[in-house]
């Protein structure tokens, strides 16, 4: 394309899009008749425009509701799904580690609880141990 | 079957199912535009969700004199442009799109036309974001210049310049790549 054609370029584009006035159309068409390089450029733009219009639509991925919160039924299902394994774990833990459920005499419990700490270093754990041993002894 | 205006009306009266119908009607079109603008499916899906969310919350501002599709697509273009303004994200998306190894071509994909489309999609991502938005809204969605200008908040003359420059860049790059 000749340097002088650079001035024509924006006009050629406007001509192609039909944005020019009637009088301007004639001038551009006269230039096109005399300039094979500009004709080739216009043909290239036409091809690009056609290719852009013919770009296929792309299917959107699986649907997510854009504006609604999770439905209560779904939330309930989630809560149940979390609660059930937790409850099973608690039952399993108690079955494995709890002392056997043998009857405890109220006197033994009262006696153990009423007994003061024998030393400041006695921990809560020791106290618990005493209660547990009182259960098993009775 | 309800037309868009009726569905908008029902939605504004509190029928959320009406918006679901509208979203189902336009989701492929919105996703396509976002995908063409952003070049990556995950980013396009985010933009689609954002566009529908924004459309839902701004529905009272919708002017029924304008087609709903035009309003929604312009809104989508703005969402994509805003996403692009996050420069770090843009760079990451572009790099990921450029690095993504193309799937091995099937027999069908060897067809010249398919190859040309893939090349065109790749080259679209090289355009500056406003040019790309203008090109896609005008050629791909076939919206009038005035609507494109309104969507991109730019004068019509500027949009025409973007269209000219964008198309010329694409023509030149395609010529270099395809010979």
- What pLDDT is recorded for position A73? 54
pLDDT tens for each residue of B132-144? 999 999 999 999 9
Where along chain B do its domains lie? 4-178
- Of A9, A53, A66, Cβ closest to residue B23: A66
The band of A69, judged by pLDDT with boundaries at 50, 70 and 90, is very low
Class of domain B4-178: mainly alpha
The band of B166, judged by pLDDT with boundaries at 50, 70 and 90, is very high
pLDDT > 70 in chain B, percent: 83
* CA distance linking residue B26 with residue B105, whole number of Å: 30
The band of A109, judged by pLDDT with boundaries at 50, 70 and 90, is low
* CA distance linking residue B165 with residue A48, whole number of Å: 12
Could you tell me if residue B142 is left (phi over 0), alpha (psi between -120 and 50 degrees) or otherwise beta? left
Could you tell me if residue B104 is left (phi over 0), alpha (psi between -120 and 50 degrees) or otherwise beta? beta
Residue A110, pLDDT > 60, answer yes
Between A44-58, A95-109, A120-134, B54-68, the lowest mean confidence (pLDDT) is in A95-109
Q: Name every chain A residue with its beta carbon within 8 A of the beta carbon of B117.
A: 51, 54-56
Where along chain A do its domains lie? 7-53, 94-138
Q: Name every chain B residue with its beta carbon within 8 A of the beta carbon of A17.
A: 160, 163
**ipTM passes above 0.90:** no
* CA distance linking residue B105 with residue B96, whole number of Å: 20
- Which one, of B59, B37, B57, lies nearest residue B47 by Cα? B37
The band of A86, judged by pLDDT with boundaries at 50, 70 and 90, is confident
Query: Closest Cα of chain B to A97: distance in Å?
Result: 50
Q: H or E segment at A130?
A: helix A124-137
Chain A: residues touching B (Cβ < 8 Å) = 9-10, 13-14, 17, 19, 41, 44-45, 47-49, 51-61, 63-68
Residue B127, pLDDT > 90, answer yes
* CA distance linking residue B165 with residue A10, whole number of Å: 9
What average pLDDT does range A82-94 have in this prediction?
Answer: 71
Are the beta carbons of B45 and A61 separated by less than 8 Å? Answer: yes
Query: Closest Cα of chain B to A61: distance in Å?
Result: 8
Q: Tokens 């551009």 map to which residue?
A: A28
């Amino acid at each position: 394309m000749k340097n002088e054609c650079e001035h024509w370029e924006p006009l050629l584009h406007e001509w192609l899009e039909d944005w020019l006035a009637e009088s301007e159309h004639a001038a551009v068409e006269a230039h096109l008749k005399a300039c094979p390089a500009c004709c080739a450029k216009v043909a290239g733009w036409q091809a690009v425009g056609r290719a852009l219009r013919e770009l296929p639509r792309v299917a959107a991925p699986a649907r997510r509701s854009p504006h609604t919160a999770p439905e209560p039924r779904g939330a309930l299902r989630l809560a149940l799904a979390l609660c059930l394994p937790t409850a099973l774990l608690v039952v399993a833990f108690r079955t494995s580690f709890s002392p056997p459920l043998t009857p405890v005499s109220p006197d033994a419990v009262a006696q153990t609880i009423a007994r003061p700490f024998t030393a400041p270093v006695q921990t809560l754990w020791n106290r618990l141990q005493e209660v547990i041993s009182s259960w098993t002894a009775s | 079957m309800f037309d868009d205006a009726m569905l908008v009306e029902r939605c504004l009266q509190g029928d959320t199912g009406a918006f679901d119908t509208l979203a189902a009607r336009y989701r492929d079109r919105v996703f396509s535009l976002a995908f063409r603008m952003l070049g990556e499916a995950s980013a396009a899906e985010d933009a689609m969700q954002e566009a529908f969310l924004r459309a839902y919350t701004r529905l009272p501002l919708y002017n029924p004199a304008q087609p709903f599709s035009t309003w929604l697509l312009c809104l989508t273009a703005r969402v994509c442009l805003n996403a692009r303004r996050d420069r770090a994200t843009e760079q990451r998306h572009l790099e990921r799109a450029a690095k993504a190894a193309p799937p091995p071509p099937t027999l069908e994909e060897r067809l010249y036309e398919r190859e040309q489309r893939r090349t065109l999609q790749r080259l679209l991502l090289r355009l500056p974001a406003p040019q790309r938005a203008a090109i896609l809204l005008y050629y791909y969605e076939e919206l009038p210049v005035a609507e494109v200008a309104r969507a991109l908040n730019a004068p019509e003359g500027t949009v025409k310049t973007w269209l000219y420059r964008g198309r010329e860049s694409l023509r030149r790059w395609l010529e270099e790549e395809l010979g």
